[in-house]
Amino acid sequence: MQLLRCELYKPRVIMITAFTYWNTRIAPVFDTARQLYLVESDNKMIVKESTIQLPEDLPAEKILRLLELGVSTLVCGAISKAMYGLVAARGIHVVPFVAGELTEVSRAWLEGRLANPLFTMPGCRGQGGRRFRRMLGASEEEHAMKGKGSGGTARGGGMGQGMAGPGRGRMGGPKAAGSIGVCGCPQCDYTEPHERGVPCAQKKCPKCGSMMTR
Lowest-confidence range among 6-10, 11-15, 42-46, 86-90? Answer: 6-10
Q: Yes or no: say if 83 and 65 are a contact pair by the CB < 8 Å rule.
A: no
Assess whether 40 and 111 both reside in one domain.
yes
Assess whether 210 and 137 both reside in one domain.
no
- Residue 185, domain extent: 177-214
Cα 159 from chain centre: 18
Q: What is the mean pLDDT of residues 188-196?
A: 74
Assess whether 70 and 146 both reside in one domain.
yes
Q: Yes or no: say if 186 and 124 are a contact pair by the CB < 8 Å rule.
A: no
* Amino acid letter, residue 28: P
Assess whether 147 and 199 both reside in one domain.
no
Assess whether 92 and 22 both reside in one domain.
yes
pTM, entire model: 0.57
**Which pLDDT band holds residue 126 (cuts at 50, 70, 90)?**
low
Q: How many domains does the chain have?
A: 2
| Residue 139: predicted pLDDT | 39
- 8 falls within a domain: no
CA distance 8 to 60: 42
Assess whether 43 and 70 both reside in one domain.
yes
- 128 falls within a domain: yes
Return the top range by mean pLDDT from 12-16, 143-147, 178-182.
Answer: 12-16
pLDDT at residue 151 tops 60: no
- 1 falls within a domain: no
Assess whether 155 and 181 both reside in one domain.
no
Output the CA angle 137-148-56, nearest 5 degrees: 60
| Residue 122: predicted pLDDT | 83
